[in-house]
Amino acid sequence: MTQTSDVLEDTPILRFAAGLPGFAGTHRFALIEAFGCESPFALLRSVEDPDLAFVVTHSAPFFPNYSIDLDDAEVERLGLVTSDDAIVLLIVTLGSTLEDSTANLLGPIVVNRTTCEAMQVVLSDPGRDAKTPLLAA
Amino acid sequence: MLVVTRRSEQSTVIGDDIVVTVLEIRGDSVRLGIQAPGEVGVYREEVYVELERANRDSATSPAAAVVQLAALKERRDRRGARPRRASTGAQAPRAQA
């Protein structure tokens, strides 16, 4: 089931069974972390549309207190057994400076690190903004 | 639009594998339970619209992203390893011109 024709052999391919809102028909993204060890950012590059990419980051460098609760249906869909199975990525909108850049805390991407199944979840708790300044914490 | 009248605890089936059940009706709000396969995203509409917009705003191309990230890194490097919050009163070393 490995399909790594146009990307590096060891680049994980995340599978979004339900796609991403706004991008119907894109289900597979390569997670490319090769921006140097110091970069907090990685790239999600669409397999179906090579011109489509999202910059993502882990929450820890910018939002150390960020945590999410998944409901049972989401846990089941992703096949998560323990919370350690999950990786949380935040979609970033880059500005010309870090101060101008924002992260989507409302709709994080949750990945099952074992199976690479992924989905964008929506958090229902208040105060989660889709455009939170990266340096807000 | 197809309109179906349902009472509490009654369901509507959509296709082979989507079931929408009215769980509770209270005043002007209705709680729905939705069973759907993994490839069907289920969102509240207003949240879906917001996510759609946010995702479109964040979408970029691999080439543009690499350029933007390189520019950010260069800016940071130029500023040196200055701490993010230098308001402790301690003398911050001046960057060499």
Q: Is A55 in CB contact (< 8 Å) with chain B? A: yes
Q: Is A34 in CB contact (< 8 Å) with chain B? A: no
Q: pLDDT, tens digit, for every residue of A65-80? A: 999 999 888 999 999 9
Q: Is B61 in CB contact (< 8 Å) with chain A? A: yes
Reported ipTM: 0.87
Q: Output the CA angle A96-A100-A105, nearest 5 degrees.
A: 125
Question: Measured between beta carbons, which residues in chain B are less than 8 angstroms from residue A90?
Answer: none
First to last CA, chain B: 67
Distances (CA, A) of A108 to A100, B24, B31, B72, B94: 19, 29, 25, 23, 39
Counting every residue written for chain B, the total comes to 97
- Average the pLDDT over A117-133 and give the result: 90
Residue B90, pLDDT score: 41
Side chain identity, residue A99: E
Contact A55 B47 (CB under 8 A): no
Long-range CB pairs of B83-89 (<8 Å, 24+ gap) are B84/A135
Residue B54, SS3? helix
Q: Is B47 in CB contact (< 8 Å) with chain A? A: yes
Q: pLDDT, tens digit, for every residue of A2-37? A: 444 444 557 899 999 999 999 988 999 999 986 666
Are A119 and A78 in contact, with CB atoms under 8 Å apart? yes
The structure's pTM equals: 0.82
Q: pLDDT, tens digit, for every residue of B9-30? A: 999 999 999 999 999 999 999 9
Contact B58 A41 (CB under 8 A): no
